[in-house]
Structure 1
Amino acid sequence: MYRVWLSIMKKSGSDGRTRERLSREAIAGGAVALADAEGLEAVTIRRLAQDHGVSPMALYWHFKDKDQLLDGIADRLFNDVDLPPVSTEPWPQQLRAVLQALLAALRPHPAVAGLVTSRILTSEAGLNIAERTLSHLRQAGFSPEQAAEIGSYLLGAVVTLVTCEPGQRHGEDDEAHEDAIRVKAASLGALSPRRYPNIIASSGALAACASPDAYYSLGLDMLITGVSGIATEAEAAS
């Protein structure tokens, strides 16, 4: 996918105006595509400049260092979150819809999903997500302090769902991906049946999700059920 993205960018700049076309958003998009294909460690300003056929200074105009580039990547992910409109549905359903929107934006980009955890309050798009999350938690009866703690946990949990998906694809090589899954399943299946009977029984699911959609749906269900249970217990105790 990164090669396809790069090809499109180069064609759009084939008239010699490549540098002018390298907006902050385009650079961040290229960084995300590169991380998807080769991992976050491959993303450097020098590498992006080389792939675009420009000098690093053309990118430093937008990002002074790699930390700022990582900020730009996180901002790009937050901007991809399509927040649902506020509705009259009960707060658990609305909160789940917000988490689902965040998950949909992060799920295609596991290599960079972890960047959003510490950056949600540093961009307008991230602030909008945080505000909606806190609003629904306040509707549930949580104090501002509790809402902040629970909201932070929920964000981290969504990120963990994405980064820890069993059998997650790394790079673009289908054969290597399938080989890695087989090796992991075989390694787990070869453990001592007397010491690890349950790991062996679950070896296939631990190596790769039979249904990634079901995996993510279950994850969101557990998060919302947990928060709802805490809210119910607090209300009963008050």
Structure 2
Amino acid sequence: MSRGRGGRDRSLTRDRIIDVALRIADSEADLDRLTVRRLAGELNVGAMTLYGYFRNKDEILDAMADRVLGGMHLPDEPAAGPAEALHTVAYAFFQMMREHPSVVRLLTTRITDSRRAVRGAMEVVLQRLVDAGIPGPLAVRCYGFLITYAIGFSGYQVPRRWGRTDAVDGAEGRRRRRHFYRGLPVQDFPQVVSLVDELVELPSDEQFESGLAAYIDGMLRMLALAGVEI
């Protein structure tokens, strides 16, 4: 281990601390399980060492949100219209939250004032929607729907991984859930038992796409009524 003056570990940086904090948080269902003591243990340093980089856990959580939100990527779409832009933004949010489930919990428990986060996950997104021909005030409404839709769906999907198309054990997960629903007493759950095949698809990527398509269709109608060329 390389140490500088005062015995400080030269390999320990703010970025490395955030990397490990995100790894822990993304693997847990509760941000409370990300403690300074646990983080220090994963980094093989004393807890007090971390306070030389962050004053408290809140600063660590803010830095995590800054990293993930500020790093959100939108692919280049020079000629994108409203439908393409809405679709791209929705999947950018969805992918970000799938890669870092912790950001769902961060967004539902904290408000960030990070300029990097506001630019990466808000300013750039709003600009994309406006550039696609969506008027500013309506772009804000679209932004609000798309981010909350992604938060809600990705949060619902986290414990129901069988819905993901990339899930290794997706088929087995669906089989088990189907077996559970079919085992319910039909006299008490007639709809659940009869609709079992559809119910196991609720957390599927296809379900996300279906809901998004319905929203985009409705938004295009609204834009047409407002005289916006689509």
Q: TM-score range by the shorter chain?
A: 0.7 to 0.9
The TM-score normalised by the length of structure 1 is: 0.71
Question: Does residue 26 of structure 1 match 2:13?
Answer: no
Match of 1:82 in 2: 73
> How far apart are the structure 2 equivalents of 1:107 and 1:68?
23
8 Å CA contact retained: 2:82, 2:134: no
1:189-225 deviation line (CA, Å, top 9, x unaligned): 3334345333224445545668x44344334333433
> Could you tell me which residue of structure 2 aligns to residue 189 of structure 1?
182
Task: Trace 1:84-233 onto structure 2 (pairs within 5 A).
Answer: 84-116=75-107, 119=111, 122-138=114-130, 139-144=132-137, 146-165=138-157, 167-168=160-161, 182=176, 184-203=177-196, 206-207=199-200, 212-233=204-225
Q: CA deviation at 1:163?
A: 0.7
Residue 187 of structure 1: how far off its partner (Å): 4.0
Q: Aligned to 1:71, which of 62, 75, 100?
A: 62
Within the alignment, does 1:44 sit opposite 2:44 as a pair? no
Answer whether contact 2:81 2:133 (CA < 8 A) is retained. no
The alpha carbon displacement at 1:56 in A equals 1.6
Q: Secondary structure at the match of 1:21?
A: coil
Cα distance in 1 for residues equivalent to 2:224 and 2:173:
46
C-alpha distance in 2 between matches for 1:112 and 1:76: 10
Q: CA deviation at 1:107?
A: 0.8
Q: Which amino acid aligns with 1:116?
A: L
Per the TM alignment, residue 75 of structure 1 is displaced from its structure 2 partner at its CA by 1.7
TM-score if structure 2 supplies the norm length? 0.73
Please, what is the CA RMSD of the aligned residues?
3.4
One-letter code of the match for 1:199?
Answer: V
Pairwise CA distance, 1:157:
0.9
SS at match of 2:123: helix
Residue of structure 1 in register with 2:46 after alignment: 55
Query: What is the percent sequence identity of the aligned residues?
Result: 26
- Tell me the amino acid that sits aligned with residue 84 of structure 2: Q
Residues 1:119 and 1:88: Cα distance change in structure 2 (over 3 Å)? farther
Question: Is this contact kept in 2: 1:120–1:127, CA < 8 A?
Answer: no
1:204 and 1:224, CA in 2 relative to 1: closer, same or farther beyond 3 A? Answer: same
Give CA deviations for 1:92-127 in whole Å, capped at 9, x if unaligned. 202321222222222123243232365466331442
Instruction: Give 5+ residue unaligned stretches, structure 1.
Output: 1-13
Letter matched to residue 153 of structure 2: L
| Alpha-carbon distance in structure 2 between the residues aligned to 1:93 and 1:179 | 32
Distance 1:27 1:154 in 2: 30
Where 2:161 maps in the other structure, the secondary structure is coil
C-alpha change, 1:179 and 1:214, in structure 2 (3 Å) is closer
SS in 2 for 1:20: coil
**What is the CA–CA distance in structure 1 between the aligned matches of 2:33 and 2:145, rounded to whole Å?**
29
Alignment of 1:6-17 (within 5 A): 14-15=1-2
Q: What is the rounded CA distance, in whole Å, between the counterparts of 1:204 and 1:53 in structure 2?
A: 48
Q: Quick one: structure 1 residues 227 and 179, their matched pair in 2 at CA, closer, same or farther if it must change by over 3 Å?
A: closer
